[in-house]
């Protein structure tokens, strides 16, 4: 069974922020797979299930995402190689899409938390959100909504990413990388 985790923060004030791009993809996948909600308070997140697939949106806030992921991983006895985490990445330009297995957290607090709770060797779907002009603006930048120009591409980019995740359920990471990676989303 695969566990797909989308990172974000709970609450309507964060709904359209760059940091919540992982939640947007999970919402899209829940609709596409017709997954049903099987959340429990012990999971500290919204958990959805379809055949052979679990979809998780941690509700612990970004800095404690690993707590939610670990609870679901342990309950369902999911192996590390069967976990895919979708997250925003400021080191990639807006609408870029990359895939990798393992690696560092790059300063991303959600990934840092996951690394602390379960280790680093899970698959990652990196969604580029661009970066602010100054490093001191990062927290404010990722917690703000997408710009009007970015919003124009958001839905199609989330659909493309969801298609890549669907492909990951049946193909290798390298196959998906070669077919779905993007330098920038082009309509």
Distance (Å, whole) CA 119 – CA 102:
9
Mean pLDDT, residues 56-74: 97
160: annotated active-site residue: no
pLDDT category at 106 given cuts 50, 70, 90 is confident
Enumerate residues 6+ apart whose C-beta is below 8 A from 123: 81, 83, 84, 85, 99, 100, 101, 168, 173
Which CATH number does the domain housing residue 133 bear? 3.40.50.1470
185 located within any domain: no
Of the two residues 35 and 184, the one the predictor is more confident about is: 35
23 occurs within a structural domain: yes
Structural domain includes residue 119: yes
Range of the domain at 145: 2-180
> Which one of the listed residues 19, 87, 108, 160 is annotated catalytic?
19
Please state, in angstroms and rounded to a whole number, the distance separating the CA atoms of residues 114 and 119: 7
- In this predicted structure, the answer to whether residue 184 has a pLDDT above a threshold of 90 is no
State if pTM tops 0.85. yes
Say if 14 falls within a structural domain.
yes
Residue 88 lies in a domain: yes
In a domain, 186, yes or no: no
Question: What would the pLDDT profile of 1-52 be if each residue is shown by its tens digit?
Answer: 999 999 999 999 999 999 999 999 999 999 999 999 999 999 999 999 998 8
Residue 158 within any structural domain of the chain: yes
Domain count within the chain:
1
Range from 85-89, 169-173, 183-187 carrying the lowest mean pLDDT: 183-187
> Would residue 132 count as lying in a domain?
yes
């Amino acid at each position: 069974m695969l566990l797909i985790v989308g990172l974000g923060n709970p609450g309507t004030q964060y709904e359209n922020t760059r940091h919540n791009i992982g939640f947007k993809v999970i919402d899209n996948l829940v609709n596409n797979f017709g997954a049903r909600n099987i959340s429990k308070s012990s999971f500290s997140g919204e958990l959805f299930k379809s055949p052979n697939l679990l979809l998780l949106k941690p509700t612990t806030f970004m800095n404690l995402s690993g707590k939610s992921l670990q609870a679901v991983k342990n309950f369902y006895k999911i192996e590390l190689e069967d976990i895919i985490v979708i997250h925003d990445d400021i080191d990639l330009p807006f609408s870029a899409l990359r895939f990798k297995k393992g690696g560092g957290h790059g300063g991303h607090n959600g990934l840092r938390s996951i690394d602390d709770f379960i280790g680093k060797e899970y698959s990652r779907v990196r969604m580029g959100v661009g970066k602010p002009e100054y490093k001191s603006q990062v927290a404010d930048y990722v917690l703000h909504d997408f710009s009007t120009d970015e919003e124009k591409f958001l839905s199609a980019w989330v659909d493309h990413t969801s298609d890549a995740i669907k492909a990951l359920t049946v193909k290798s990471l390298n196959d998906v990388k070669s077919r779905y990676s993007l330098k920038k989303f082009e309509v």
